[in-house]
Amino acid sequence: MSAPILDTLLVANRGEIACRVMRTAKALGLTTVAVHSATDRDARHSREADIRVDLGGSKASESYLQIDKLIAAAKASGAQAIHPGYGFLSENAGFARAIEAAGLIFLGPPASAIDAMGSKSAAKALMETAGVPLVPGYHGEAQDLETFRSAAERIGYPVLLKATAGGGGKGMKVVEDVSQLAEALASAQREAQSSFGDSRMLVEKYLLKPRHVEIQVFADQHGNCLYLNERDCSIQRRHQKVVEEAPAPGLSAELRKAMGEAAVRAAQAIGYVGAGTVEFLLDARGEFFFMEMNTRLQVEHPVTEAITGLDLVAWQIRVARGETLPMTQDQVPLLGHAIEVRLYAEDPGNDFLPATGRLELYRESSNGPGRRVDSGVEEGDSVSPFYDPMLGKLIAWGEDREQARLRLLSMLDEFAIGGLKTNLAFLRRIIAHPAFAEAQLDTGFIARYQEQLLPAARELDEDFWQAAAQAYSQSLVRRERQDDPHSPWAAVDGWRSGLPAQVALHLSADGQDRAINLQTLGADHRLQGERLLVEHQGVRREHRAIRRGDTLYLHWQGEMRSITTYDPIVAADASHSQHGGLTAPMNGSIVRVLVEAGQSVEAGAQLVVLEAMKMEHSIRAPHAGIVKALYCQEGEMVSEGSALVELEQPA
């Protein structure tokens, strides 16, 4: 049988994974086809493709989830194969079938394997038969409250409710005791219905302090299947992975083999082909339990590539062409250690709400041995509210874990992002944390060290304002010289001398304002290129200072602070017109209103539930009080910042 021709590949995805897949495709000499929504017309993945096809629309449901449009795009561009990336349609058996029916190649497993693992309940039943250990729980058909109540009673609290169709940590709720069960079940079912179009749930024993250890498997079309070692993805926030590494620290060779072989059994039980991941929970006693199988390339595949030297996308293409796997299990390399962090546009200081806006400043870390950045954006790009807000991934490899960790820290330090909030500083605090350095990994890590990882916003200190004022005024002088040689600032000889007396600089940084009299500034800070040199008691330090438009970005105490000037008169006006109510933290729709005007509520009571980015966010009472007014109703769309509830403090 001759191998099918595969010289043109369409990537049915966006962002970093589309860029990453196309990079290998290009390296192998393939022609790349990108698809994009109207919003993504100029997104990096479409800019980088040889051919691009406009799907129209903005929402994923109008673009990246349109099976017919994607197949038409492949036909029109001459692509013989479609790579689904992760998310979107990557685990949609209907998509795999439609591709096959159109005479094209799906770079993923057979539709039947996706079906087998598509429902967490069905997958668990299957694994039970294949002899793979499961977490105690209930994964049956009956979905009434009573069934869940008695199942939870039987396995013992705390329990975890999971959407059978779930993924990405969504539709999952921990229930501590029976009093929370009804509310948690209803809310999880609603979330599951809106995210996956399927409200069915299962319930499991909620393991305390487990590790998430998963096995990368790879199968060809001839019945061969390998495990390419494991990844530890225990550092999670709300059941979503934040940091991933390979190999799993402290995992013995015997356990690796046992888990690897269980994973291969799981894959073979469903006739798997291509790249897949079998996820396990590992408890402190070294027992492991099957959680689910992801039938696609994972976000975190680069750490496996780093320790094996293999290119998994290249393997996907080869397997699709009918080639056999190029090695045996004993030949699979395991070299050194790799750690990856996921960089998101989100606000860690505000419950990790996704951030949108323009990347006014975006600079990646420099290239070098053991450093890899997989990203999907460039400076000037915008992050829209329509898709997952991940910007990219930073991956560091080292001969041992500590070398990888230090390398990753220096990459995080070199990254500079401005214009929207990101989790960069949060990631840095995780990787720098002593418990992380000691590889004390379990899924409770972030919650346990929350106070250190998410420090309360501190008042910016005097040293900062001095540095900010000096850096800002020097960058202003420099810019005026370049832009307008006749400006009075440009005439200033040296940056300070000759400044008009009593000039105050009104600076804003991190939501704080400060007026600083230029005459009182010291001269111990010098801006040189993009470095602010600060000399203090004979020690000279450098801080990065990058100007974009009217904003100066200054790297200070591990974070990029954006510094702008403000008009003191406008600021005074605005502070009088502020609304006293609770506002929508982002654009979304109101799914529930739980209070009425006149009602008194306890501190922390749920007032309104807002759905945004497919997640439910509760708006809770910051203090006890009486609901004075309600400004929203169920079903209504609200925009960020609009008032929802007005709460009065009781007299």
Minimum gap (Å) between residue 530 Cβ and ligand ADP: 40
Amino acid at 391: L
Residue count of the chain: 651
Nearer to ligand ADP, 104 or 291 (CB): 291
**Residue 176 to residue 139: CA distance in whole angstroms:** 19
Q: Please list every residue from 239 through 268 that binds ligand ADP, using CB under 6 A.
A: 239
Nearer to ligand ADP, 166 or 385 (CB): 166
DSSP letter for 134, please: B
Minimum gap (Å) between residue 109 Cβ and ligand ADP: 17
Nearer to ligand ADP, 138 or 553 (CB): 138
In this chain, which of 167, 247, 276, 370 binds ligand ADP, going by CB under 6 A?
Answer: 167
Nearer to ligand ADP, 172 or 359 (CB): 172
In this chain, which of 147, 149, 169, 581 binds ligand ADP, going by CB under 6 A?
Answer: 169
Q: Please list every residue from 290 through 309 that binds ligand ADP, using CB under 6 A.
A: 291-292
Nearer to ligand ADP, 37 or 234 (CB): 234
Nearer to ligand ADP, 247 or 370 (CB): 247
Minimum gap (Å) between residue 386 Cβ and ligand ADP: 21
Question: What are the DSSP E strand ranges found in 433-586?
Answer: 504-509, 512-517, 525-528, 531-536, 539-548, 551-556, 559-565, 582-583
**Residue 176 to residue 161: CA distance in whole angstroms:** 11
Interface pattern 204-243 for ligand ADP (x via CB under 6 A):
xxxx--x-x-----------------------x--x----
Minimum gap (Å) between residue 289 Cβ and ligand ADP: 8
Nearer to ligand ADP, 387 or 464 (CB): 387
In this chain, which of 46, 199, 229, 443 binds ligand ADP, going by CB under 6 A?
Answer: 443
Q: Clarify whether 296 is annotated catalytic.
A: yes
Burial class (CB in 10 A: 0-12, 13-18, 19+), 484: exposed
- Within 10 angstroms of residue 523's Cβ, the number of other Cβ atoms is 11
| Residue count, binding to ligand ADP (CB under 6 A) | 22
Is the separation of the CB atoms in 86 and 249 below 8 Å? Answer: no
In this chain, which of 230, 232, 279, 300 binds ligand ADP, going by CB under 6 A?
Answer: 279
Is the separation of the CB atoms in 9 and 32 below 8 Å? Answer: yes
Nearer to ligand ADP, 84 or 210 (CB): 210
Site stretch for ligand ADP (CB under 6 A), options 163-171, 421-429, 474-482, 616-624: 163-171
Nearer to ligand ADP, 239 or 620 (CB): 239
DSSP letter for 620, please: E
Minimum gap (Å) between residue 137 Cβ and ligand ADP: 7
CA dist 532 → 336, 346, 471, 528, 633 (Å)? 37, 28, 7, 6, 51
Site stretch for ligand ADP (CB under 6 A), options 88-96, 201-209, 406-414, 488-496: 201-209
Helix, strand, or coil (residue 608): strand
Site stretch for ligand ADP (CB under 6 A), options 73-81, 148-156, 203-211, 598-606: 203-211
Is the separation of the CB atoms in 156 and 205 below 8 Å? Answer: yes
Is the separation of the CB atoms in 264 and 254 below 8 Å? Answer: no
Q: Please list every residue from 379 through 418 that binds ligand ADP, using CB under 6 A.
A: none
Is the separation of the CB atoms in 161 and 146 below 8 Å? Answer: no
Minimum gap (Å) between residue 169 Cβ and ligand ADP: 4
Helix, strand, or coil (residue 465): helix
The answer to whether residue 166 forms part of the interface with ligand ADP (CB under 6 A) is yes
Minimal CA–CA distance to 368: which of 391, 344, 343, 398? 398
Minimal CA–CA distance to 563: which of 475, 457, 503? 475
DSSP letter for 363, please: E
**Residue 247 to residue 238: CA distance in whole angstroms:** 23
Rg of the chain on CA atoms, in Å:
27
Q: Please list every residue from 314 through 373 that binds ligand ADP, using CB under 6 A.
A: none
Residue 113 dihedral angles phi and psi, to the nearest 5°: -70, -35
Minimum gap (Å) between residue 443 Cβ and ligand ADP: 4
**Residue 202 to residue 162: CA distance in whole angstroms:** 5
Minimum gap (Å) between residue 15 Cβ and ligand ADP: 18
Q: Please list every residue from 604 through 643 that binds ligand ADP, using CB under 6 A.
A: none
**Residue 413 to residue 430: CA distance in whole angstroms:** 13
Site stretch for ligand ADP (CB under 6 A), options 40-48, 166-174, 306-314, 553-561: 166-174
- The helix-helix angle for 120-129 and 111-118 (nearest 10°) equals 100
- Name the β-bridge partners of 279: 214, 292
Site stretch for ligand ADP (CB under 6 A), options 169-177, 187-195, 526-534, 620-628: 169-177
Nearer to ligand ADP, 292 or 388 (CB): 292
Minimum gap (Å) between residue 91 Cβ and ligand ADP: 10
Minimum gap (Å) between residue 348 Cβ and ligand ADP: 19
Is the separation of the CB atoms in 31 and 8 below 8 Å? Answer: yes
Residue 165 dihedral angles phi and psi, to the nearest 5°: -95, 10
From 200, 296, 342, 428, the catalytic residue: 296
Minimal CA–CA distance to 243: which of 456, 433, 3? 433
Helix, strand, or coil (residue 342): strand
Site stretch for ligand ADP (CB under 6 A), options 168-176, 264-272, 368-376, 455-463: 168-176
Nearer to ligand ADP, 45 or 617 (CB): 617
Whether omega for the bond prior to residue 247 falls within 30 degrees of 0, making it cis, is yes
Site stretch for ligand ADP (CB under 6 A), options 198-206, 396-404, 423-431, 564-572: 198-206
Interface pattern 133-162 for ligand ADP (x via CB under 6 A):
--x------------------------x-x
Minimum gap (Å) between residue 208 Cβ and ligand ADP: 8
Minimum gap (Å) between residue 81 Cβ and ligand ADP: 26
**Residue 55 to residue 53: CA distance in whole angstroms:** 6
| Strand arrangement of the beta sheet that strand 288-294 belongs to | 288-294, 274-282, 211-219, 225-237, 240-246, 337-344, 390-398, 371-375
Site stretch for ligand ADP (CB under 6 A), options 95-103, 141-149, 165-173, 523-531: 165-173
**Residue 114 to residue 93: CA distance in whole angstroms:** 6
Q: Is 323 left (phi over 0), alpha (psi -120 to 50) or beta?
A: beta
Interface pattern 545-574 for ligand ADP (x via CB under 6 A):
------------------------------
Nearer to ligand ADP, 192 or 306 (CB): 192
Residues carrying an active site annotation: 296
- Residues forming contacts to ligand ADP in the complex (CB under 6 A) are 135, 160, 162, 166-170, 172, 204-207, 210, 212, 236, 239, 279, 281, 291-292, 443
